[in-house]
Amino acid sequence: MAKLKIGIIGAGGIMRGAHMPGWKHVPDCEIVAVCDSHLPTAEAFAKDFGVPADRVFTDHRKLVAVDGLDAVDIGTPNQFHTPAVLAALEKGLHVICEKPLAVTTDEVRRMQAAAKKSGTVLMTAQNMRWGGSAQALRKFADSGALGEVYHARIHAMRRNWLPGKATFIDHAVSGGGPCMDIGVHALDLGLWLMGFPDPVRVSGTTMVNFAKGHDIPGGWGEWDRKLFSVEDFASGFIHFANGATMVLEASWLQHQQESEDFSARLFGKKASVHWPSGDYASVINGALVDGKIRDDAGLKPSHQEEIIAFADAIRKGKASPVPVEQTLKVIAILEAIVQSGKTGKEIVLATEKSALKTSKKKG
């Protein structure tokens, strides 16, 4: 079996700490090139992971032109995802890209069209799907044990964990605050457990409650309050075509007892279930029943499992483990929450050939 030859675009912490341990578990795989806008970062990565010195770049266009590449793994700041993804797809390379795949639906559609044209695998790195709890709960939901899911509560809430780098707090680089940064994780997981119903209407709110003041100390240190140009709290209410609804809340700074609350609760007509605890509630023969679904055993950490799934899809000619059509729904909802927060109006989403178009609701 020929080795998979992988190029890395964005050699920072998420690539080193999360993606590279996954690539180490992929048999017959070799990291052959690396690109980072900061040359010392790229050079350090190359030294640590055995990338030849002549395959170190600061321009992603040079990396995707390397002969013999099969795929690229992208972990750049959000606003740089689109040019790197499109450049790779246009070269016929498979792509896995950190979440959010893009910060607008227009960009996702461009990627979708490019992947279809090139016949390559395009995958968003939504690693939480591969956690032990998520895998077990998906099996539970697929069995029909929940019945018709009519509502979901999705939380991505932190007490005082605001990432202080400009790549998170400067809208020109990040494209959004916690809604795009961590809301995307919990939203994708919730929609995946629900079977990805079509969203049709979204109302949202975005606020800056603490990030420009001094009420809550930063658990990761200080940040530049003058540079801060995104929200620190967002919430949304989503209606789906099948009649179901969802509440989404995302925040970096919040008065709450929990240090962090990443969770989803799905309410079905047969039972409700909570991720990640696995707790469920139901009724059997008229008796109220509470229980717990155990995690799938034997799984590697979720970031590693997603890399393995991506490589397997390439090897076996499978569809993307995270279809771009699903990512399009996720980004459409997040984009609509932000747009609704700015306009104060509900946003209507229309599905047309797996592509979502947004427009302001009249009235």
Q: What pLDDT digit, counting tens, does each position of 127-172 carry?
A: 999 999 999 999 999 999 999 999 999 999 999 999 999 999 999 9
Instruction: Give the span between the Cα atoms of 346 and 236, in whole angstroms.
Output: 10
10 Å CB burial of residue 47 (0-12, 13-18, 19+) is: exposed
160 CB-side CA count, 13 A: 12
Residues 89 and 73 in one domain: yes
Residues 167 and 45 in one domain: no
Angle between the N-to-C axes of helices 324-343 and 105-118, in degrees from 0 to 180, rounded to the nearest 10: 160
Of 182, 134, 132, residue with least CA distance to 159: 182
Q: What is the pLDDT of residue 362?
A: 39
Q: What is the pLDDT of residue 358?
A: 45
64 inside domain = yes
Three-class DSSP category at 37: coil
Residues 81 and 194 in one domain: no
Question: Residue 113 pLDDT > 60, yes or no?
Answer: yes
Name the H helices within the chain: 13-14, 20-23, 39-49, 60-63, 81-90, 105-118, 132-142, 166-169, 171-174, 178-181, 183-194, 302-316, 324-343
Instruction: Give the span between the Cα atoms of 267 and 193, in whole angstroms.
Output: 11
348 inside domain = yes
Q: Which residues contact residue 243 at a Cβ distance below 8 angstroms, ignoring those fewer than 6 apart? A: 150
Residues 220 and 110 in one domain: no
337 inside domain = yes
b or e along 265-297 (b: 16 or more beta carbons within 10 Å of the residue's beta carbon)?
A: bbbbeebbbbbbebebebeeeeeeeeeebebbe
Residues 67 and 214 in one domain: no
Mean predicted lDDT score pLDDT of the chain: 95
CATH number of the domain that 207 lies in? 3.30.360.10
pTM metric for this prediction: 0.94
Print the SS3 string covering 286-345.
CEEEEEECCCCCCCCCHHHHHHHHHHHHHHHCCCCCCCHHHHHHHHHHHHHHHHHHHHCC
133 inside domain = no
pLDDT band at 1 (very low <50, low <70, confident <90, very high): low
Tell me which DSSP letter residue 218 carries: -
Residues 92 and 21 in one domain: yes
Question: Residue 363 pLDDT > 60, yes or no?
Answer: no
Residues 173 and 61 in one domain: no
The number of domains in the chain is 2
Residues 83 and 117 in one domain: yes
The CA-based dihedral angle spanning residues 269, 271, 273, 278, taken in that order and rounded to the nearest 10 degrees: -160
Q: What is the pLDDT of residue 215?
A: 83
287 inside domain = no
160 inside domain = yes
Question: Residue 224 pLDDT > 70, yes or no?
Answer: yes
Residues 107 and 84 in one domain: yes
183 inside domain = yes
DSSP string, 66-79: STT--EEEE-S-GG
CATH number of the domain that 318 lies in? 3.40.50.720
Question: Residue 255 pLDDT > 70, yes or no?
Answer: yes
Q: What is the pLDDT of residue 214?
A: 79
Q: What pLDDT digit, counting tens, does each position of 45-61 carry?
A: 999 999 999 999 999 99
Residues 92 and 36 in one domain: yes
Contact 216, 224 (CB under 8 A): no
Q: Which two tokens stand for residue 51?
A: 């990338």
Instruction: Give the span between the Cα atoms of 145 and 248, in whole angstroms.
Output: 24
β-strand partners of 5: 30
* Domain enclosing residue 349, as ranges: 148-269+330-360
Q: What is the mean pLDDT of residues 1-8?
A: 92
Question: Using a CB cutoff of 8 Å and minimum separation of 24, what contacts does 307-312 make?
Answer: 307/19, 307/22, 307/23, 307/25, 307/26, 307/73, 307/96, 308/22, 308/25, 308/26, 309/130, 310/71, 310/94, 310/96, 310/121, 310/123, 311/4, 311/26, 311/29
Q: What is the pLDDT of residue 351?
A: 54
β-strand partners of 182: none
Instruction: Give the span between the Cα atoms of 53 and 253, in whole angstroms.
Output: 42
Strand order in the sheet with 94-98: 56-57, 29-35, 4-9, 71-74, 94-98, 122-125
Encoded amino acid at 252, one letter: W
Three-class DSSP category at 62: helix
Whole-number percent of the chain with pLDDT over 90 = 95
Q: Which two tokens stand for residue 27?
A: 């048999």
Residues 313 and 215 in one domain: no
Q: What is the pLDDT of residue 357?
A: 52
279 inside domain = no
Q: What is the mean pLDDT of residues 331-356?
A: 83
Question: Residue 201 pLDDT > 50, yes or no?
Answer: yes
Q: What is the pLDDT of residue 121?
A: 98
Q: What separation, in Å, do the N-terminal and C-terminal C-alpha atoms of the chain show? A: 60
Residues 124 and 52 in one domain: yes
Instruction: Give the span between the Cα atoms of 321 and 324, in whole angstroms.
Output: 9
